[in-house]
Structure 1
Amino acid sequence: MRPTLAALLLLASSALATGEFTTEEAGGKVTVKLDGKLYTEYRTDSKVPYLHPLSSASGACLTRHWPMEPGFKEEEDHPHHRGFWMSHGAVNGHDFWAWTTKESDPKIEHKGLRERKNDAFTVELAWTAAGKTQLTEERTYAFKEIDPKTMAITVTSKLKAPEADALFGDTKEGMFAIRVDRTLRQKGKEAKGAIADSEGRKDGAVWGKKSNWVAFTGPDEKGEPAVIAVLDHPSNLRHPTWWHARDYGLLAANPFGIHDFEGKKDKHTGDHVLKKGETLVFRYEVVLHHGDLESAKLAERWAEFAK
């Protein structure tokens, strides 16, 4: 007996069915699993919360291993570059980006888990410095498997200035960032990667330019093709944003560093004041793809995200 059309359609839809995400929270850490296997973790064991690891469908980690995995053999530079994070180098004159050894350093404190679903969670954060809360933040991470080779993490950040106006200063040191793994870089002993943006620019030409998205591409640590990209939402401040994309593996969307990126003499060109009580919302999406730049279809991904 031949299968009916309905049965064939059901079979096809099952083959295309996406995986199931689950989240678990304990001790300020949120573990995200896909079909029961570790997908990523939201960690609060540093001065800035971050996600680690970010994995391809191949099972390879596309973000750096060190310093989250002590003893891992790779370049040990920029210890504040941890997986996938968000911070800025000048908020009311305080540097939330780079780290020093002082206990009074600015930090982004995890205040608690506000909401948790299978495929998303929301945390409450406080950007504190000099004994004061400079910003409060409600940040939501949402996870989606677009197809068996493509996954996406959408982040929505709602920033408020609770006590006084907050000045975001003009600096290239920020803001929404990823540090990619060794093989995806252009610089280093194992580097085999490339950089591309939505405007067709390549490699070093991407730095400091405005575009809808930027991607790092190349072989993953297993030698299989991989793409990791960040998409800027049209509703974000100063969209399309500028990009701090470096050959050693840093990829950061930064709407504030105009004088650095465009070589302006006025070092306050990119300043932005968030008025007391007002909210500044940012939305970004990270795309993880097992394949090459063409099969990643980032123009389509961005158009869908932009809706």
Structure 2
Amino acid sequence: MKLNLTGLISIIAVTGVMAQKPQQVKVIKQKNQNKIDILIGGKPFTSFLYPDSLEKPVLYPVHAANGTVVTRGFPLNPQPGDPTDHPHHIGIWFNYENLNKLDFWNNSYAIKPEKKKDYGWVKTDKILETADGTTGKLTYHANWTDQQNNVILKETTHLEFSGNENERVIDRVTVLKAVKDATFFDAKDGLLGLRLAHALQMPATEDQKFTDNKGNVTIVKAGTDHVANGNYITSAGKHGNDAWSSRAVWCKVYGKMGKDSISISIIDHPGNTNYPTFWHARGYGLFAANPLGEQIFTKGKSVKNLHLNIGESATFKYRIVVANSPHTTTGGQLTQYAVQFALK
């Protein structure tokens, strides 16, 4: 891998990933709020939200460089036509369905109090660093706890933000250190998640049923949703629904929003466990990278349980690229991004 990467450095130098002029990034802590705003080129990119009212920290909303919001508004700021399924899907987040038999992924305000005991929380307790520049930086500490605030994992996450006239990039490095023996049991829902704006969903080819937080069921008839126009493609050449459960270095969702083409790409890192990751990419708008869901994705052919003894840690690195232009980010450009990211 190192030899291949070294050989491709010259390609990066010639073609120039992020060759456009980098824009200045501002990382601004809002007074008396658990909120940090990230501006690129003087325009909102995203906000890091970590209030006690959320069950995990999130980046929300997320804007393309042209200002278009590429994440779903519901439940924090519902937009007309927003699907109201899965209220735990907010912006960009990082957690897991089954850690020591606790569900961190599906926890939200919609869970009834008597059932909360089965769910975990990710609670941000410290902002360790913020920095402005052509690369903005934000580092935070959080605890993965049960409902009694017993800490299972300590999380330290470093985020780097950068961008130019047509692109926005997030590099995320998360270190999880076990305070207790910690087992990530093989499960479908994890690890890095993003909920797409309505337009980036795939058009439904069959009727879909959505249940909101009050138990109300909405059936979307195939062919009646004229907003959704998204599609997936992976570095391994999988398209559409075939991206789900497949493995690849990167996965891209793309579609039209207004007059521009929009794409969001997630890139895996060769240092991550089970590289290249499985893609939990759903047509209804969930876009996730989950290296720990091997059993469901292989239909039971293999299982991946990740265990950390007390004091042991695991590191996960991901790059997210949001682009807008007449044409979406090409596969060649994403491969260059992946090569560049692998060297970090």
Q: Same fold per TM (> 0.5)?
A: yes
Consecutive unaligned residues of structure 2, counting only runs of 5 or more, are 1-18, 205-224
From 159, 175, 178, the counterpart of 2:176: 159
Alignment of 1:151-230 (within 5 A): 151-162=168-179, 164-187=180-203, 189=225, 190-220=227-257, 222-230=258-266
Read off the aligned partner of 1:115 and give its amino acid letter.
Answer: E
Question: Which residue in the other structure is 2:165 paired with?
Answer: 148
Instruction: Measure the CA separation in 2 of the matches of 1:152 and 1:301.
Output: 10
Instruction: Measure the CA separation in 1 of the matches of 2:20 and 2:291.
Output: 37
Alignment of 1:35-184 (within 5 A): 35-45=41-51, 46-70=54-78, 72-99=80-107, 100-102=111-113, 104=117, 105-118=119-132, 119-131=136-148, 132-145=150-163, 147-162=164-179, 164-184=180-200
CA shift for structure 1 position 265 = 6.2
Instruction: Measure the CA separation in 2 of the matches of 1:71 and 1:230.
Output: 25
From 247, 261, 264, the counterpart of 2:300: 264
Aligned residues: 288
1:23 aligns with 2:27: yes
Read off the aligned partner of 1:37 and give its amino acid letter.
Answer: K
1:34 aligns with 2:40: yes
Measured against aligned partners, the alpha-carbon deviations of 1:81-128 in whole angstroms (never above 9, x if no partner) come to 001001100000000011223255411001110111110110110011
Whether the 8 Å CA contact 2:279–2:290 is kept in 1: the answer is: yes
CA shift for structure 1 position 306 = 1.2
SS at match of 1:67: coil
Question: Which residue in the other structure is 2:16 paired with?
Answer: none
Instruction: Measure the CA separation in 2 of the matches of 1:57 and 1:294.
Output: 13
Whether the 8 Å CA contact 2:73–2:79 is kept in 1: the answer is: no
Instruction: Measure the CA separation in 2 of the matches of 1:134 and 1:294.
Output: 39
Deviation >6 Å, runs of 4+? none
Measured against aligned partners, the alpha-carbon deviations of 1:8-46 in whole angstroms (never above 9, x if no partner) come to xxxxxxx94321111111322111111322211001131
Measured against aligned partners, the alpha-carbon deviations of 1:120-154 in whole angstroms (never above 9, x if no partner) come to 11011001114211111001111011x42122100
What is the percent sequence identity of the aligned residues? 28
Instruction: Measure the CA separation in 2 of the matches of 1:206 and 1:16.
Output: 30
Question: Which residue in the other structure is 1:4 paired with?
Answer: none
Let me know the Cα RMSD of the aligned residues.
1.7
SS at match of 1:205: helix
Consecutive unaligned residues of structure 1, counting only runs of 5 or more, are 1-14
1:246 aligns with 2:282: yes
Instruction: Measure the CA separation in 1 of the matches of 2:143 and 2:77.
Output: 26
Instruction: Measure the CA separation in 2 of the matches of 1:71 and 1:56.
Output: 17
Question: Which residue in the other structure is 2:273 paired with?
Answer: 237
Structure 1 stretch displaced more, 207-216 or 104-113: 104-113
1:197–1:265 distance in 2 versus 1, CA, 3 Å: closer
1:203–1:143 distance in 2 versus 1, CA, 3 Å: same
When the two structures are superposed, what TM-score results if normalisation uses the length of structure 1? 0.89
Structure 1 stretch displaced more, 288-297 or 30-39: 288-297
Whether the 8 Å CA contact 2:121–2:147 is kept in 1: the answer is: no
Instruction: Measure the CA separation in 1 of the matches of 2:172 and 2:202.
Output: 27
Instruction: Measure the CA separation in 1 of the matches of 2:142 and 2:173.
Output: 13
Instruction: Measure the CA separation in 2 of the matches of 1:68 and 1:150.
Output: 25
